[in-house]
Structure 1
Amino acid sequence: MPRPEAARRVKSYSAATGYVFQYYFFEVESAERGAVRGNEYRYVVSADRRAQFPVRILVDASAVAGWKQRAGRALSGTEEYAVAKLRLFQAFDEDPSLAASSGGRAAQLFVDETNLDGFLAQLDA
């Protein structure tokens, strides 16, 4: 039996680029991009309320494991979701090309050892 359609809560984000994006969380799945494995958070995004495109954010499992060793505890699922969402907001704020016509493209972003600690620090602020 097919899974019933979930009600999606569309949210807005006013980016530093001047665009107002509409987005909603679609799903999370284990994924692999090249040699990087982790959880991939998928959002559906629009910058013009007409064209929508997927944004995929891969949270690197090795970066999460490294953080676990340093912090002495596991990252919760809620914290990992929040980190992925902060990466989405960072892309909205810093990449004006996201607002360009989608043309069937999908944006692919990463949370890795270079930015994980910074996102987690924002959660503690």
Structure 2
Amino acid sequence: MADCIFCKIAQKEIPSKLVYEDDTVVAFRDLEPQAPQHVLVIPKKHVESLLALEEEDKALVSHILVDVIPQLAQKLGIAEKGFRVVANTGEEGGQTVKHLHFHLLGGRSMQWPPG
């Protein structure tokens, strides 16, 4: 999608602090981190949200959740103590960019409420 900021990041039209890239996925540091380690993991293919996934996208989402995120958690040093993965979906779900993305957060206690 031409005006999607995440598509532009994936295509390297907009600079980002990449921490991972392969043929189908990129991961980069969040500009407004909510934890010491806060990375966004996105498919290079434009998919608006979890609700827009199609049958052909199952392998892509599996790759992100089963391969990429655990590998990144290890790389970022947050795997041992724990981390959170969030996919905001829709306006009331807090999705501000209409491109499927997963927040990988760690490096502090992620318990709710904080305490």
Above 0.5 in TM-score? no
Q: Which has the higher strand share?
A: 1
Q: TM-score, normalising length from structure 2?
A: 0.29
Relative contact order: is structure 1 or structure 2 higher (C-alpha 8 Å, sep ≥ 6)? Answer: 2
Q: TM-score, normalising length from structure 1?
A: 0.27
Q: Which has the higher helix share?
A: 1
